[in-house]
């Protein structure tokens, strides 16, 4: 079983720091929200370390 990142919407400040934190390019700004491209996420958790809002979590996929 693998895990992938997801954004907890009510915690996300949409600052965009996560967009550049992922070495695999798994975050994308679509309209006014930031989304995780699950097929690119490698569960490295680099995004968790950079998110000041604590809005990034992981789930089994």
pLDDT tens string 12-28:
999 999 999 999 999 99
As to burial, measured by CB atoms within 10 angstroms (0-12 exposed, 13-18 middle, 19+ buried), residue 2 is: exposed
Structure tokens at 20: 């550049």
Global pTM? 0.83
On average, the pLDDT of the chain sits at 92
CA 19, 42, 59, 61 torsion-angle sign: positive
Structure tokens at 47: 């995004």
Q: Spell out the domain ranges in the chain.
A: 3-60
| Higher-confidence position of 7 and 3 | 7
Q: Would you identify the CATH topology of the domain 3-60?
A: Alpha-Beta Plaits (3.30.70)
The answer for residues whose C-beta is within 8 angstroms of residue 26's C-beta and 6 or more apart is: 5, 36, 37, 38, 40, 41, 42, 47
């Amino acid at each position: 079983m693998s895990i992938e990142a997801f954004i907890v919407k009510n915690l996300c400040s949409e600052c965009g720091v996560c967009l550049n934190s992922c070495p695999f390019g798994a975050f994308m700004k679509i309209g006014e929200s930031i989304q995780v491209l699950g097929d690119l996420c490698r569960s490295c958790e680099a995004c968790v370390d950079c998110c000041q809002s604590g809005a990034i979590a992981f789930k089994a996929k």
